[in-house]
Amino acid sequence: MTPKPTERLRGIDIARACAICGMFVVHAFLVLGPPSSGLSGWERIVFNLTEGRAAATFVLLAGLGVGQLLSRRETTDSRRVLWRRALFLGGLGVLNLIVWPGDILRLYGVALFAAPWLHRWSSKALSGLVAALILTFPLAAVLVDWDARWDWATLTYRGLWTPSGFVLNLGVDGFRPLLPWLAFFVLGLRLARLDWRDRATQRRMLWAGIWLFVLAELASAGLVRLAIQSAMGERLGAQIVTALLGTHSIPPMPLFMLSALGIACLVLGGGFVLGDHLPRRLQEALVSTGRLALTWYLGHVLLLVGLALAGYGNRLSALAAMGVAFAGFAGVVAVSTLRGGAPMLLERMLRRFSTPSPRADKAMESPPESPRE
């Protein structure tokens, strides 16, 4: 059962705002803070909770929003609007890739283009596709020699702007490749078929996310320890074993995907369950922030890249980097609140580009917010 066409689910906007906060934190750590290998204690915990997980949450929420939109009214016009959004976000992602190797907007472009077709699949088929995307990646990574094109010291990708390099980067060996990251979007399409007004659904999602995250992390820790002490560890070395069985987002191996799915479901369920208990003003502020996620995604990228170019790259302590992240997020919440969630330039451009006719605009009336990271 899906929400009524005129109903907007505030819990999704709150979840998206939480993901924005997580993105500020992890990217401030990566760009301004010390190298991740030097993190310990609480710094390591915070980094592990946000690294790749904030992006995963955005992609899952994107699939959820698009799935709800198509469930309400799938017409030729609504499909064209999605395809136009795909073109806009994909093009924006290519531009963003010039300054940010971790761009995720290209993934949105491909996912939105495929969404009307995937929406016709059964729930069982979508679940099977999620599993296939996750489990196929390790084999694909071996076949393409996953990190052969990367210079990790400078985060540059050799041959990125050649046809073969661009396709490989987008599909398999980029920061957020379609294989397996499309699984988050597909799961969002599947979850869109649940009744999110039902409090039992919200609570189940929260607890499912907690358990999935905890079990994935415990399984990873145990398997890494056993493998390192075994013949596998002697043959491959601790670094490769950790990459294969760990929960870091690069490369996105199955246990990372499960851990990130857990966090994404936790944030989604928490956006509904905990959002209801927030003070009214804070709830409104987070909802307004979540509705402007596209602007804040690109804005925080430009801010952090600018600070790095100004000489602050990996110069701050972890605590100082987190301070910058929370200060930036507080500013974002303040601006969003003052605007009441009214669309900013990028949101207006996206809507204008994707709804060129009144008829199409009507087909997209009151949809969930467009997918964003």
**pLDDT greater than 60 at residue 2:** no
Predicted TM-score of the model (pTM): 0.90
Distance between CA 166 and CA 171 in Å, rounded? Answer: 8
Helices (H) and strands (E) in the chain, counts: 17, 2
Q: pLDDT per residue over 144-179, tens digit each?
A: 989 899 988 888 899 999 999 999 999 999 999 999
Answer for the pair 83, 113: CB distance below 8 angstroms, yes or no. yes
Distance between CA 71 and CA 19 in Å, rounded? Answer: 25
Residue 166 has what pLDDT? 95
Answer for the pair 285, 335: CB distance below 8 angstroms, yes or no. no
Residues 120-128 have a mean pLDDT of: 96
Distance between CA 258 and CA 325 in Å, rounded? Answer: 26
Cα–Cα distance list, 289 to 67, 252, 294, 339, 350 (Å):
22, 28, 10, 10, 17
Distance between CA 283 and CA 331 in Å, rounded? Answer: 16
At residue 151, what are phi and psi to the nearest 5 degrees? Answer: -110, 100
Angle ∠(27,98,34) on CA atoms, nearest 5: 30
Distance between CA 345 and CA 292 in Å, rounded? Answer: 10
Quick one: tokens of 13? 């906007």
Binned at pLDDT 50, 70 and 90, residue 55 comes out as very high
Residue 211 has what pLDDT? 97
**Length of the chain, in residues:** 373
Q: Picking from 77-81, 296-300, 328-332, 364-368, which range would have the lowest pLDDT averaged per residue?
A: 364-368
DSSP string, 81-134: HHHHHHHHHHHHHHHHHTT-TT--HHHHHHHHHHHHHHTTS-HHHHHHHHHHHH
Quick one: tokens of 8? 């907007």
Residues 185-206 have a mean pLDDT of: 96
CA-CA-CA-CA torsion for 297, 299, 302, 304, nearest 10 degrees? Answer: -80
Distance between CA 370 and CA 89 in Å, rounded? Answer: 10
Distance between CA 300 and CA 29 in Å, rounded? Answer: 13
Quick one: tokens of 275? 């959002």
Distance between CA 366 and CA 106 in Å, rounded? Answer: 25
For residue 250, the 8-state DSSP code is S
Residue 360 has what pLDDT? 45
Name 151's bridge partners.
156
Distance between CA 187 and CA 63 in Å, rounded? Answer: 7
Q: pLDDT per residue over 233-285, tens digit each?
A: 888 888 899 999 999 999 999 999 999 999 999 999 999 998 888 888 888 89
Distance between CA 302 and CA 174 in Å, rounded? Answer: 20
Residue 112 has what pLDDT? 95
Distance between CA 224 and CA 205 in Å, rounded? Answer: 28
